[in-house]
Amino acid sequence: MPQKLNAQKLAALLCSERDPGGAGVLRRDGTVFYIGGNLPVYGTLETMYESYCQEATELFHVTFGDAAAFEQNLDMVHQIKRNFSTRLMGKVPYLLTDRQVEQAYLAGLDIMDLPFQANSGNGHLQKTFASATGTFPRWSITSTICAYTVAADEARKAITDLLALGVVPLFDVSGTENNWTPAEAEKLFGYLVAEWHRNKVPLKPIMPLLRLTTPFDFIQSTGFLRGMYDKLQDRRTLATSDLRRHLRTSGAIASFESAGL
């Protein structure tokens, strides 16, 4: 859990431009490696491997392109999962069908960020969230609320609604076009933390991202033994997740074979 809100970090986030990263961008920020899903797969993997060997990476973050590039983006996810053992998060900017959710999970995504639409009243949106939370492990679906699209009361309601669906709400205050004051943003982040805590949301899988996108100073584990224990626990969690995915994939293949497909 966060130790405290850092006012300087909050001011910097409020003044920052919106993230220019996208489906065609490859860049590193801290221990997060942002990968555009539309990039050439094998050339991108070579560049990633060189950087991976030089600097620690805690999270791979793949940004999907538009719906027409879904299959290509899945191939990128699959190849990254085959070649690296780091947790893999995918940001999808559109709603998915049940089949696409399943494909994204089986391709190798550990965490999936789906679009948030304020006041949408969209049954398809609810259906996508339900499908995703039913397919991925608990608290492995996130949705980012952007400050430039909502007012404070809408953001609070969105946080509550998303958590009720089993979705981890994230909050993005970057973008100079938003009208939030530091006081409003601080209050909203405080509410977000309280709701994470009340719902016992495990933040460790997305901690590398939270260090970049939130104004909190997070408590760091200290000591060599504690650090080693945390790494072993993380490896165990990832291995369990990969085994679950493998068993699900094997079951799907067996089902197809028994049906003569």
pLDDT tens-place string over residues 180-225: 999 999 999 999 999 999 999 999 999 999 999 999 998 765 555 5
Residues 177 and 249 in one domain: no
**What are 62's two structure tokens?**
């793949």
pLDDT at 141: 97
Residue 132 belongs to domain spanning: 2-219
Domain tally for the chain?
2
Residues 49 and 88 in one domain: yes
pLDDT at 229: 43
Residues 99 and 213 in one domain: yes
Residues 121 and 245 in one domain: no
pLDDT at 255: 54
pLDDT at 250: 58
3: nearest Cα among 188, 218, 206: 218
Residues 232 and 123 in one domain: no
CATH number (domain holding residue 44) = 3.20.20
Per-residue 3-state assignment (H helix, E strand, C coil) for the chain: CEEEECHHHHHHHHHCCCCCCCCCCEEEECCEEEEECCCCHHHHHHHHHHHHHHCCCCEEEEECCCHHHHHHHHHHHHHHHHHCCCCEEEECCCCCCHHHHHHHHHHCCCEEEEECCCCCCCHHHHHHHHHHHHHCCCCCEEEEEEHHHCCHHHHHHHHHHHHHCCCEEEEECCCCCCCCCHHHHHHHHHHHHHHHHHCCCCCHHHHHHHHHHCCEEECCCCCHHHHHHHHHHHHHHHHHHHHHHHHHHHHHHHHHHHCCC
Written as tens digits, the pLDDT of the chain (261 aa) is: 566 899 999 999 998 887 756 899 999 999 999 999 999 999 999 999 998 888 889 999 999 999 999 999 999 999 999 999 899 999 999 999 999 999 999 999 999 999 887 655 556 778 889 999 999 999 999 999 999 889 999 999 999 999 999 999 999 998 767 789 999 999 999 999 999 999 999 999 999 999 999 999 987 655 555 455 455 555 566 666 666 776 766 555 455 455 554
Residues 83 and 204 in one domain: yes
At position 65, the amino acid (one-letter code) is G
195, with CB counted inside 10 A (0-12, 13-18, 19+), is middle
